[in-house]
Amino acid sequence: MRVVIVGGVAGGMSAATRLRRLSEETEIIVLDKGPYVSFANCGLPYYLSGEISQRDALVVASPEHLRKRFNLDVRPNTEVVKIEPEKHQVIINHDGQSAPLHYDRLILSPGAKAVMPTIDKTADASEIFTLRSIPDVDRIMAALKQDAKTAAVIGAGSVGVEAAENLTKRGLKTTLIEAGDHILPFMDYEMAAIVSRETTKHGVKLKLNHRVTQLADHQLKLSDGSTVQADVIIAAAGVTPDTELAQAAGIKTGDRGGIIVDDHYQTSVDDIYAVGDAILVKQLLTRKLASIPLASPANRQGREVADVIMGRHRRNLGGIGTAIVRSFEMAAAATGLNTAQLKQSGMPYQAVHITGQSHAAYYPGGTPLSLKLMFNPKNGVLYGAQAVGKAGVDKRIDVLSVVIKHHMTVFDLPEFELSYAPPFGSAKDPVNMIGYAAENLVEGLSDNLQFDEVDAAVKAGAYLIDVRNPKELERDGRLPNAVNFPLDDLRSRLSELPKDRLLIVSCRSGQRSYIAERILKNHGFKVKNLDGAFLTYSAAY
Ligand code: FAD
């Protein structure tokens, strides 16, 4: 049997090597239109600053190595220009020469392509680079070496944020331009706002709610009429499945051109399979098809499609999407659905925020860790989680991704026995703590309202109480319209509180205000807790 694979990086090469481990007889041919296969696309941004200093480190395995170790026929610089399913062949183009190549099974892993923003360009417009391959990064490095002093990155998703960090670390004055109202669109507004602060603190100029409209020479014009000078411009405005080839062959595609596959990665055309960024997968929470263009699913799918082709029982179970990114010292990660996705899918949800510590507060070096959960308010099934902080973000989100993928509930979180010693965590880990907080909400011990609801509630007559100590208010700032009742004075000052109005309680992170909420509820007041309290409110505004 001959298996031909289009695309020799994450999904394609995982499929090829697994196929070989399962069968010595199968002929395996891997075609890639680029000069490199098996390269570290996720590492490219870090090469811009020199954090990854050796270009060679970006190439994980060479065609020679893959031939020797896995007996793979790897052909770089070979583009598949046409698929002819009825003849079971592809037309390949190498060195300007076209030739047919027969397949018994064809695996497509062509990945995604950069979305280019629509910009009016003058004749002398400078180049807009993309950052997807080693040749892309070579072109950017060549431009940087022309004494570049300024840079602009269009799009503040993960790749844009990483590019902005690395260009800044290289010494360029960098502007990050984003059309939306927050960076990192996979995160929610108030969580991303914490990362924005870190990004600007390190010198990146952030332009939110701005579109690039025109480019002349090295000057970008933005939607508000302002201009940005940039010696080097990188577009990182997202990706879309690279599936023109598949579509031309009559393979069925869906949203944004993503290839539709069944549970066994089989496309609508016999003997043609597809994996990676090019396909749509079942989102396990919405049960709808979605694009999840990330490295871990692509690698897993590559391995699984090899199993399927070799007759092993393996199914594409779908995904939830789990991502992490660093901006300078801050990490941001998310798993499952975010607020925008939940609203779009019409799923009722409740959110809860906490701010804990990366490890035991009494042990030196701990840093704040902000966590957010979204869950079904009736049965506590988890839908999404987000975390931001300088340390421990990956550990918490990885735990929560397992929880969400396996449809667990907020009631499971307090039961988790997570590894603990003071340098690593807390006896009550933030994952346990947010479980307690969410459990209280589902069981009706607590009610909350969000940072973006509190101002309207106060306007409508609610009475906002801040239970921090006066010194904290002076040091950290005040919530607008809040009256200060320090927690320890609350019981003795109950007569000062209106019984006929909704009381909203807040503190620094939400822990003391929960105690206040319980005191007040036990005395017959109608109370809600400002979720995430002052820290979340002040991060957002
Ligand atoms: P790819 O790995 O993109 O491989 C597709 C290959 O197919 C390409 O080499 C292309 O040349 C080839 N090809 C396409 N069409 C043809 C054709 N017609 N003929 C021959 N060859 C063809 N994901 C994460 O989870 N974490 C990260 O930190 C992260 N960082 C990233 C940083 C950058 C700069 C980039 C670009 C991506 C990053 N990703 C990250 C995404 C991750 O790299 C992808 O999800 C993953 O590589 C997808 O694998 P794939 O096999 O579908 O496609």
Ligand 1 within 6 A of CB of 249: no
Per-residue pLDDT band for 45 (boundaries 50, 70, 90) equals very high
pLDDT tens-digit profile of 264-316? Answer: 999 999 999 999 999 999 999 999 999 999 999 999 999 999 999 999 999 99
CB 48 within 8 A of CB 139: no
CA 6 to CA 14: how far, in whole Å?
12
Q: Report which ligand 1 atom has the smallest distance to the Cα of 296.
A: 25
pLDDT tens-digit profile of 143-185? Answer: 999 999 999 999 999 999 999 999 999 999 999 999 999 999 9
pLDDT at 106 over 80: yes
CA 34 to CA 41: how far, in whole Å?
12
CB 336 within 8 A of CB 321: yes
Q: Is 264 helix (H, G, I), strand (E, B) or coil?
A: coil
Average pLDDT of the segment spanning 96-119: 97
pTM for this predicted structure: 0.95
Residue nearest to atom 42 of ligand 1 (CA): 295
| CB within 8 Å of 453: residues ≥ 6 apart | none
Ligand 1 within 6 A of CB of 294: yes
Ligand 1 within 6 A of CB of 304: no
Residue nearest to atom 31 of ligand 1 (CA): 42
Which pairs count as long-range contacts for 395-402, CB under 8 Å and 24+ apart, including other chains? 395/425, 396/333, 396/369, 396/371, 396/429, 396/430, 396/431, 397/322, 397/324, 397/333, 397/334, 397/335, 398/322, 399/431, 400/335, 400/336, 400/373, 400/431, 401/320, 401/322, 401/335, 401/336
Query: How far does the centroid of ligand 1 lie from the alpha carbon of residue 133, in Å?
Result: 8
Query: How far does the centroid of ligand 1 lie from the alpha carbon of residue 183, in Å?
Result: 22
CB 504 within 8 A of CB 533: no
ipTM of the assembly? 0.99
Average pLDDT of the segment spanning 228-240: 96
Q: Which of 44, 115, 277, 304 to mutate to test the pocket of ligand 1 (most atoms within 8 A of CB)?
A: 277
Query: How far does the centroid of ligand 1 lie from the alpha carbon of residue 61, in Å?
Result: 15
Ligand 1 within 6 A of CB of 42: yes
Per-residue pLDDT band for 323 (boundaries 50, 70, 90) equals very high
Ligand 1 within 6 A of CB of 45: yes
Determine the pLDDT at residue 123.
77
Query: How far does the centroid of ligand 1 lie from the alpha carbon of residue 111, in Å?
Result: 5
Q: Report which ligand 1 atom has the smallest distance to the Cα of 14.
A: 51
Strand ordering across the sheet containing 27-31: 73-75, 27-31, 2-6, 105-108, 272-274
pLDDT at 44 over 80: yes
Determine the pLDDT at residue 243.
98
Average pLDDT of the segment spanning 427-438: 96
For the chain, percent of residues with pLDDT exceeding 90: 98
Dmax over Cα atoms in the chain, in whole Å?
A: 88
Measured CA angle at 414 (ends 411, 420), to 5 deg = 155
Query: How far does the centroid of ligand 1 lie from the alpha carbon of residue 264, in Å?
Result: 21
CB 455 within 8 A of CB 480: yes
Tokens 């060679």 belong to residue: 56
For the chain, percent of residues with pLDDT exceeding 70: 100
First-to-last CA distance in the chain? Answer: 61
Query: How far does the centroid of ligand 1 lie from the alpha carbon of residue 304, in Å?
Result: 18
3-state helix, strand, coil in the chain (%, to 5): 35, 25, 40
Query: How far does the centroid of ligand 1 lie from the alpha carbon of residue 242, in Å?
Result: 10
Ligand 1 within 6 A of CB of 44: yes
Per-residue pLDDT band for 263 (boundaries 50, 70, 90) equals very high
Ligand 1 within 6 A of CB of 30: no
Q: How high does pLDDT run on average in the chain? A: 97
Q: Which of 350, 275, 381, 377 is nearest to 319 (CA)?
A: 275
Tell me, yes or no, if 507 is annotated catalytic. no
pLDDT at 317 over 80: yes
CB 163 within 8 A of CB 45: yes
Ligand 1 within 6 A of CB of 535: no
Q: Which of 447, 434, 464, 301 is nearest to 372 (CA)?
A: 434
Per-residue pLDDT band for 217 (boundaries 50, 70, 90) equals confident
Average pLDDT of the segment spanning 58-71: 96
List the beta strands (DSSP E) in 186-315. Answer: 205-207, 212-216, 219-222, 227-229, 232-235, 239-241, 272-274, 281-282, 289-290
CA 316 to CA 280: how far, in whole Å?
11
Determine the pLDDT at residue 125.
78
Q: Which of 70, 58, 67 is nearest to 17 (CA)?
A: 70
Determine the pLDDT at residue 122.
84
pLDDT at 129 over 80: yes
Helix (H) or strand (E) holding 326: strand 322-327
Q: Report which ligand 1 atom has the smallest distance to the Cα of 112.
A: 3
pLDDT tens-digit profile of 466-501? Answer: 999 999 999 999 999 999 999 999 999 999 999 999
Catalytic residue among 42, 119, 143, 408: 42
Ligand 1 within 6 A of CB of 79: yes
Helix (H) or strand (E) holding 15: helix 10-22
Per-residue pLDDT band for 126 (boundaries 50, 70, 90) equals confident
pLDDT at 537 over 90: yes
Q: Report which ligand 1 atom has the smallest distance to the Cα of 293.
A: 45
**Which string of DSSP letters, residue by residue, matches 45-61?**
HHHHHTSS--GGGGB--
pLDDT tens-digit profile of 75-103? Answer: 999 999 999 999 999 999 999 999 999 99
Ligand 1 within 6 A of CB of 80: yes
